[in-house]
Amino acid sequence: MKPKEFFEYMKKNGAEMMDLKFVDMLGTWQHCSFPIDTLDESVFEEGLGFDGSSIRGWQSIHMSDMLAVPDPDTACMDPFFAKPTVSVIADIVDPVTREKYSRDPRNVAKKAETYLKKSGVADMAYFGPELEFFIFDEVRFEQNQHKGYYEIDSVEGAWNSARFEEPNLGYKPSFKGGYFPVSPTDTYHDLRGEMVCEMRKVGIEVEAHHHEVATAGQSEIDMKFKPLLRMADQVMWHKYICKNVAKRHGKTVTFMPKPIFQDNGSGMHTHFSLWKNGKPLFAGSGYAGLSDLALHAIGGILKHAPAILAFAAPTTNSYRRLVPGFEAPVNLCMSARNRSAAIRIPMYSKNPKAKRLEFRCPDPSCNPYLTFAAILMAALDGIENKLDPGKPLDRDIYEMDTEELKDVPKTPGSLEEAIDALEKDRDFLAKGGVFSQDLLDAWISWKREKELDEIRQRPHPYEFHLYYDN
């Protein structure tokens, strides 16, 4: 869409406002709205100013001025404003140098796509993430000098099977019993359907939606695979839509990976493939019908997985999900069909166009632009260096003992370990200037100072159970 077409689109839809959205370093949308009569086509060149020092992980106050330059190709009608409003996603530019901002995640995604084409390996990287999330009726939490707690509730929660509900009809998915039930046990079919309809309005192709394994409204909505940048934009819309549709109905949605103790967490299983000249590159005659190129790509992802997870599982809560012996894949190996391996090769179809890998460690708290770019860069490093993915693990991992698994590498056990891994293993990300050293340093510093140190200083409620009377 050209700038002139953008204004024609606004007029056609009766829009009086443009809502400008951009993503901060950690993966949250920020926005500001502008009346249409304050704008002209020059905004797509000159951009709109804002305070970069007020955005997490970005500018110091003495260098706070930044520009947000809207991308007209992202224009669509925002479904959540009372007045007709066109939403557009922006790229961030330095107002002095006019260079694209190194800490803008969308810029990183664009550079990754450019690097892929320059490599000659492929010209298209497709991503298909499966976002899981919880729909709750209420959440309360507080942390101060003398109090620390959280409390969540859901009409679907298994813990409410005996609650007085005038009447309680008993349709509550059990712990780990929420996968694919029909109504009335699945009480959120219509709510998810409304989310899907809103996604389709903004151009997202949805493949399926369903209840997920956990109790208390865990759900999943899957999008059809798209190129890296476009899919990262769609992930932002996915989360925005789910949260706002839920709020319409007095519900709340969280993409936090592990909000419920002793039940499944929310992952973001990420399907990935490379194509060139319209042809898939991952189909071949090797293990699970993979090409050598695909196997080398897997080798790269497995080698760099600890560093990737600093972006793909970026919260301290992520490692409440990535725990050995439970549902999340912590063994860095590949397998056909086996969902307990970090990389699964789906075997649903023999069509070469369907051949892909599924990286199962990421979760939906991540910044999709940085996560997808990191996965791509690791795969390209594996292809360039012909990295061996190792032997596949086609057994039930949960039936194997410690001795049998001792030689299988594991995911980091904490965010701190993942950040340490990123600090040591970052060169593959910096190739072609895709991830700048400035961004990597800023990410590491933020995670250590603003998250790890803050969590480390606070007593945990369970510590009172363990130690109060010692």
Contacts of 438 (CB under 8 A, 6+ apart): 102, 103
Dihedral pair phi/psi, residue 154, rounded to 5°: -150, 140
Please state, in angstroms and rounded to a whole number, the distance separating the CA atoms of residues 286 and 266. 32
Catalytic site positions:
51, 130, 132, 212, 220, 269, 339, 358, 360
Contacts of 420 (CB under 8 A, 6+ apart): none
Phi-psi region of 74 (alpha: psi -120 to 50; beta: other; left: phi over 0): alpha
Check whether the bond before 459 is cis (ω within 30° of 0).
no
